[in-house]
Each structure stands twice: as C-alpha cells, then as structure tokens.
Structure 1
C-alpha cells in the first residue's frame, strides 16, 4: 500500500514590528525585528521607511526577520513598517514611529535690521534639535536675554561687540554655541569741512574735504569740477589747475554715509587778496635790529611772501606776511629791498620795495662859527626812504653826537630840518604836514633828550 504525503503551504499572518529603541540618540545603534505567528517559508522581509512628507522607500530587505541599524542619524526619523511574503501571500505590519534624538547643532543667527527711522536690530537664533524644545540664552559679556530672539529697539554705538547664542538640549544635556560680531554704523559728527590751499609752488590749487569719524568712513565727493580733474567717491583732496579760474570760484564737497538718509555738504571759495602788498620798516627799541615787514593779507588760499635784498639778503617764503631782520647799521642805503608776493590765481608776482638811505645836508654854513653860538643843520629825507623814525647825527670823526629818537612820524609828514642848540642837548624838529580836509598836526611833545617838535601846515 502506498501513501502520498502532501504538505500544505500556510500563508503568512500579519506581522508586527519591534524596535530596541524608538527614540535612539544620534550616533547610537539599534535593531528592528519583524515578528510572525504563522507562515510557511521561505519568507522574505522588507522594511519600509516613510518620511514626514509621505515618501515611502525600501529601507532594507532579506530572508531574516531582524536587522541592525548602526550610527543612527536624524535622517532615520520617520515611520517604519515591515512586509512579510511567501509563495502564498504578503502581509504588512502597522507603522511604528522612530524619533531620533539629536542636537543642538551649531546655531544659525539671522540679523534683521529695523527700518532706518526706528534704528533697531533683531537677532534670531535657530538650532536643529530633537526634542524640539531647546533653550536659548544670549550672552554679551554677561547673559543678556533668554529666548531665541534678541531685539535691540534703539541701537547705539555702545551696542557694538560680540554676541553669543547658547542652544541647550535639556533631554540630552548637550549644548552648542555660535558667536557673531555686531557692528553698529554711525555717521561722523557735524558736517564736512572744506578748505583750499596752494600746491606745486603756488601754481596749483589743492581742494581739501575732511569729515573725520563715523563707521564706516563717509564717502566724500567734490562736485562742480566738470572735466577739470578726475576723481572717485573716496577722494578727499584733489589738485585743480588754477589757470582760467575766477577770483571768486565756489567749490562744493558732498558727504554721504550709510547711516544717514540724506547727504550733507560744505563749500569753499578762492579769491585774490583785495589790497596790494604793503611794506614798512621799524627799528627795535634797543637799536640792535632793523626789521623790514611785508604783508599781503586775505585771499584763499593765502599768498606766499618773501624778501630779496641788494646784498643777497633773503627770507624764505611764508604765508601772508614776512619779516626780514637786519642788524642795525648794516642795511645798504640807497638800495631797494624787494618783497615778492605770489598767489596761485595770478600769473604775475606782485612786489613792493623799501629803500633805506641817509639824509642829505643843506644850508650848511660856509664860514666859521663863533664858539658858543647856534648853528642850524638841515637833514632832508626823501619821502620814499624808510624808516623815518630814527635820526642820528655824527661829527667829522664819525662819532655819534646826538640821537633824535622820537615817536614814529605821523602819516603824510616830511621831516624838513633839525636844529641843534648850543647846549647840544636839544634839537628842534620841523615837520611839514600835508593838510587834507583842513586841520593839521598840533605841537607834539618829544619823548627823549628834551626834543621839541613843531609843525608847519600847507
């Protein structure tokens, strides 16, 4: 008798999924197992992963019902199910949520400026972390705020500095930190300042525009120059050819800054000194030095003034005024001392001159004079000879016998004569005064040696 044994294939039952840890820490290891109550082998297992967005993909497969997952990361977070199949059927388990614990990562800080009028700033700190309940603490030199967003409603330059955001994962007792440097822009105080100066030996103009301070530095730009000179937004000094410029030319410098809504400006003008150069001379009180002074005041830029003497005496250039100092008695009489004045807006140099000379005697007696009697000697000075405030008389031996130091001679005055007394301690000075518009000089008491001064009007 023969028997045929027929094996019946049992379909797989609905599997159920087990995990060794449904909340693994990032970087750890865990296992998944797909359990079946019934089912004839061979059985194939597939593990499926479903993301938060609903995308489903095969995570692993094989003929064993358990898999090990090493180095868990945050991308493993999601829904998992297992599918069991044999030759008869295929069954899927229910979903099981895997929640990877991680973080916090290095935070990201976003800076959002308020409008310029509000002048505020907001710092937002964000760090990926799970569980998604991180704690944020802001630090400067000390803790300043707790929470993800730090807001400074009125930003000042004192707020410049480093700000750190500390993100904490209290579940894992982990933390991370990010530091940023906050720079507060602020404009310079006041407005730009403009000026003009001479350059290249007083043949060219240099326009200067200054506006110190501020962060970052302001942008300065000269306007109204046309094609006369090339420049860019950062130029604060430009050379400008003076040829063809008017005496009253206006130049404007425009200043702008990131922290200002509107630009500000300054202006400067160039002009020639209104008067002519002036020369005059005077002697120091101790009669050691003769000082020749030349001035040409005013003007923008200032003029350059220098002296040239007949024997090579010179005084280098100075602005507006210059004094040539000569030792008293060494000045060359009858020779001109020339003052030169140069301004960038003028092609030609202006000059003024001083001629130092001795007086000439007139009405000199040609006969012998009795001892003890009076004699009159007249010293004639040319009107353009300077200085006229010191007269010294010498005898035929070259020895000084009388010094008629006195107050400076009044304007429009010509010394006509000096008359000695027999005592030789008095001298009569006769002045001749130009009378313009009536009136004249009155008797002026002398200051030294009993000098008596009288005037004549014409």
Structure 2
C-alpha cells in the first residue's frame, strides 16, 4: 500500500519518502525518542519531531492500537509536504515544519506515531526516530440524576444513579445534598455512580446533584428532588409566653396564651386540639384571649398524616397562676451576736419563693416564709442583704446590691459516653467566682489525672469493664473557700427495677409498664423490648413511650390479647454493661353482658310512638343498651332488624321511641352491650294500646251530651210556661184551701219528649 500511495506523490518527494522508509540507518544506529502525549477530543495536539537542526526529510506514520502495521500520515522535505488523504480519520492533520499538528482530534487517533527524520551531520546521513504514544481523552457528558423512587416512605430504600453517556475512564463521581433549609452538604465518601440510601430517612429529603469528572473536565447534573414521606412524629407543644412547670406549662390569670403544636411530618400534619378530652379547636395554633382559672386542664394535640393515615398525640398540663395579695413583708430581728432576717409573703398559686442574699453568698430560700441568721463577725462593712420575692404572675423585686467573689455552691460532676461507647468523658464544672476556681480530676488514690483548668475540667478514659466501681474526685480550689470543694462520682453498670412484674388489663383497655434506673454511671439508655424481643416503636401498634427522668413508661392502648400479650423486657445499657428486667402483660377478655327482659311496651298518642321499659336479668358488665325494631309480626315474612335507639346510657331503663307509622305493626327487642360484646337479645314484643287511651274521648262525649240535654230541657219548660195554650194538659190549678199543691201536680200527667244527640 505504501508503494501504491507513493506513486501518486511528486517525484522528488517519492524518492525522499522511499529513502526514509527503506534506508533506515545510512550512518550507524538511529536515535530514538519516546514520549507519551495526551490530547482531548475536538482539540488540537502538536507532535514535535526531535529538537535537532532541521532535517532533510521527515516522514510521519501511525500505528493504531491493537495493530502492528503502520500507515503513512504525512511527509515533508522542507520545501514541499504531503498529507495522506486517509489521515482525516485522525482529525485535521497538518505539518508545521517537522511537527505534526492534529486539529479537531478524534478518538481514532489513539495509537502510536512514528517520526523518521533524515539529518546530515559531518558529511554523513543519519536517521532519528521519535515515538509518540497518543492518548485521546473524551470529556464527560452532562450527568443526570435518576431516582428509583422520587417519593419514598421513611424506612424504605432509594437508589440514586448518576448517569453519564460518555467520558474517558476513570470517571470520578461526587454527590451533593441540598436540604430545603440550610446550607448544601457534600456527601463525603460517595464517589460511585450508584448511591444507595438504605434505610431512607427524613434527613435525606431535598435536592441531589451529582458531578462527574475525569482528566478532561467536570460537569454537574440538574437538581433532582427526593421527597421523603414520614411522620407525624410525636407533637411538640409550645406555649407563648413560655412558662414551664414540672407538669407542663402555666399562664397568668387574665393574660393571652397561645398554644402551638408542631409534629414533623411530610406532608404536613393536620391538628386537632382537645381540652380534658373534648375538642376545642382545629389547626396548629390555639389562642386563649383571656385566661381564667376555668381554662386550667390537660390539653392534647392530635397530629394526622393524611398520606400515611397515621396519628400521634401529645398532652400537656396548663396551670393558671395567680399571685398572693399585697407585697412581701420584711423584718430584721437582732439577736445576741447575730442578725436574723425574716421575710413573709403568704398566699398565691404557686406559693411565692423568697430568698435572702448577702455579701458571703446566697442565703436560704423557702416558700412564703424564710429566715436567715448571720454571725456579726462574718459580715463585711457595707454588707447589703436583700429579700427577693418573686411570683410568676407578678414581677416584684426588692433592691439588691451584692458582689460575690466566691463561686456558688460547689463543683458539679458529670460523665457521658462518646459516640460508639469507646470513651468515657469526665466533666467537672464550677462557674463564677473572681478569680475563677481551679478544677482538677483525681483518682481514688488522690492521684491527679491530667492538668488543672479554670471553671471546667474534662478528662477522657478508655472504656473498659474494669472501670466499674472506681471512684473519681473533682477538686475545686478557690482563695475564699476553706477547705476546698469537691464532687465525686463512681462509675458503675446500670441497675433496673420494674414497678410490677405482672400486669393485667382488659382487652381494649390501656396498660402501663414502668421500669426505673436505680443506678449506673455514665447515664444508661433505657428501652423496651416487646414479646418478639424487638425494640418497641412508639406510635406503632398502640405503643407509647414516656420518659420521666430515670423512669421509662411503656403504654399499650387498645390492648389486644393476640398482639400485646406476653413478656416485655426493659433493658438499660451503658459503656460498662447492661441490665434487663421482664414484665408479664396479661390481656383479659371482657365478660359477656347480662340478659335483658322487656317489662312494658305500650303505644302513645295516635300510635306514632311507644314507651319502652326493660330490666336486667343476671350478673354481668355492661356499658349501654341497644333497641332494635322491625316491621311485621314474627315469622318468615318479618322484616330485618334495624336500630331504633343506640348509645343508651348504662343506667337507663326506659326510652320513648317515635317516628312510627300507625299503619305498620312493629316488633321490638332490647340488647345489653359492653366494650366489645353484645348480650343475648330480649324477648320480642309488639306494642299494646294503653288501657287509659279511650278515657279522654268517652269523658268528652258524656260531658257534651249532659250539657246539651240540660240546655234543651230548660228551653222546653220555659216555652211551656209562657204558652200554656200550646200544652192543654198543663193547667194552672187554683189554690184550694187545705189542698197540697204538690200532690195535685203529681196527679196531672205531663208528656214531654226530649231528643239529645251527643257527638264525641
């Protein structure tokens, strides 16, 4: 092929080219130079053929990777040059003097280039060779972030892929996470194309960007949003203004109070407020414009995640404070060689704290009444004592001028375990004072551990089991304190105790298991294990966890024998060991409710209502009653039973039921209920007419008839008296002496017909 191509070249160049190809060493051994060159696809690279004086002839050839056969690229003798037509596969090929310039570099230019140069030196011809190994680098394309699940549920897993179409290896990846709030965070250590979040949690929510780079360039992807679904967490209730008590929060009487509820959730939670188990508000914020003592009680915030259909709740106690009347009363009672100060301020809720302060430190404190006695020799000149009376509902403060030069109280010793329980940190603090106190740690043999420091001393120990039982002392020295102050702590494995080893509860009820940490230093972590020896998760399967200082209470709501019965373990663990105590939970089923019998069932007015009475037969527990009815007499053609009255109080024994059709014959029955069981139905009865239901109609008709008859009789006799000729049988007798008028009238017959029609 080389010969065929050479035929098309100019004669002079053909001879020179043949000479370079065939006569490789006219004057001894050729010189060889080898170099590795890197170029970027699309850019240019220049291959220089040696650094000696200009050669007579230069011939360039190329050997592709994986091949041993060279093919010509270009040749020049200084006066003229020729580039092989097929060299365009390498890019835009040109010659600059003896150098080969490759522009618009292509990937096919990977391989070995050979420069053969013919020089004249000292009247002799010599050949030099330059070998170049060219590597063509390809820039990385713009990466794309692909998420296996854009909206995962917390606890599942997500795989993020940084997809790059092309780029010369090695390609190095980097991931960056941008939370919705806060600065961006580079995920250190994640340099792979695939990034797995397992399990995914709410801290992973946000925008993700991946960048890819190689030896040529670096590009970053567009943002991809990972929307993690979670919550709601246990709500956190805050009160504004923020006033805290051991039980919860307090507010002054007649002030405005705002209760705010926040439960971390995605999507955001829906909130409902309850006071003493009655709903008072919906929404995250509940405002009481003017508090009174009636507003005190338990406030519960219910949080609901509509996406996951999950609920959580938190309850706090709100106490209404009111101050004592008047102001504190202070008195000074001098005694022999001493001074007694008395301060009183009775009343109020809570009782007002009173405290004396003097030049030698904080004096005694008490509620409502406090007394402080001082030896006169201990007092400095111009000492000022102040009784400070405070109340949360009022800000009453007496004048106080005091300069304390000695730290208050004594050093405070604490200990904690570092991450991974590899080390135990001893911390001693004694703030204040002028000058500040010097603190140092000592072991049980009073040997110092480390150097002294001001106000705060820290010593780190390697966590080992043989540290259990060892005592450590923090010594605090101050010029005004004699003797030195100390605090001590002893390292020990945790110890546990349970409130009750056996707990019984009726199904559907609420049970509480409690365990307390009796000892342990550093402070131990408490957790409950369920019957399956797995940690109990609050908010799932009706479980609740309440931390109360050194106690951990486990609550079980809506107890179910199949899911909640069994042995629970309370486990405490610190760096020196662990301890466990078990509690057996027994979930009992509710007994069946008693039977019910109907005592009476009668119609009311117009047969549109009935009056029902019933009674309990036999023992049993019940929480209410249910009345059912159906149309038609008992038999195959009777209708289905339907509820006539529900949610009847357990103490009720009678019920008036309306809404009946007078043309329909009804049958009724009564059932007793408890929380989870329905008793046997009572006998079926049909309403009967009341025996007194016809009395009003009969009495009304009789009364009307008597009135009409009386009026008619009076009218007839009056007419007869005025018109005697109309009634010939009625004559007015003359008075005969000695005769009885009454007897005569009885001898004269009178016929009178009276017709009375009475309509009821």
Structure 1 and Structure 2 fold alike (TM over 0.5): no
Structure with the higher fraction of residues in helix conformation: 2
Shorter-normalised TM range: 0.3 to 0.5
Structure with more relative contact order (C-alpha pairs < 8 Å, separation 6 or more) = 1
Scaled by the length of structure 1, the TM-score of the pair is 0.41
